[in-house]
Amino acid sequence: MKSPRKTPLKLEDVKAESCTFDSRMKILHDLPFFKKISREEIHNVNNVFSDTKCNIDEVIYREGERSTRLYVIASGSVKLIKQNFDGKEVLIDILKQGEFFGNLDPFGETFYDETAIAQVSSCIMIINSEQFRTILEKYPAASLKVLDIMSKRLREAQEMIKLLSAYSVENRVAYTILKLGEKLGNPNKLGLLIQIPLSRYDIAGMTGTTPETTSRIISKFKEEGLISTGRKWTVIKNINRLKEKVKI
Q: Is 65 exposed, middle or buried (CB count within 10 Å of its CB: 0-12, 13-18, 19+)? A: exposed
Q: Which does 210 bind (CB under 5 to 8 A by kind): a copy of itself, DNA, none?
A: DNA
Give the C-alpha separation, 163 to 248, whole Å: 9
Could you tell me if 173 and 216 are in contact, meaning their C-beta atoms sit under 8 angstroms apart? no
Q: List the strands of the sheet with 233-236, edge to edge.
A: 185-188, 191-194, 233-236, 227-230
Q: Which does 114 bind (CB under 5 to 8 A by kind): DNA, a copy of itself, none?
A: a copy of itself
Looking at 46, 201, 238, 243, which residue binds DNA (CB under 7 A)? 201
Assign 232 to helix, strand or coil: coil
DSSP state of 198: -
Assign 195 to helix, strand or coil: coil
Looking at 52, 83, 131, 210, which residue binds DNA (CB under 7 A)? 210
Which range in 10-18, 47-55, 135-143, 233-241 contacts a copy of itself by CB under 8 A?
135-143
- Binding mask 22-61 toward a copy of itself (x if CB under 8 A, else -) reads ----------------------------------------
Size of the site for DNA (CB under 7 A): 22
DSSP state of 36: T
| Residue 248 binds a copy of itself (CB under 8 A) | yes
Name the amino acid, one letter, at 98.
Answer: G
Q: Is 161 exposed, middle or buried (CB count within 10 Å of its CB: 0-12, 13-18, 19+)? A: exposed
Range 42-81, binding DNA (CB under 7 A): none
Binding site for DNA (CB under 7 A): 5, 7, 168-170, 199-201, 208-213, 215-216, 218-219, 229-232
Binding site for a copy of itself (CB under 8 A): 82, 84-85, 88, 90, 92, 104-105, 113-114, 133, 136-138, 140-141, 143-144, 146-148, 150-151, 153-155, 157-162, 164-167, 205, 207-208, 247-248
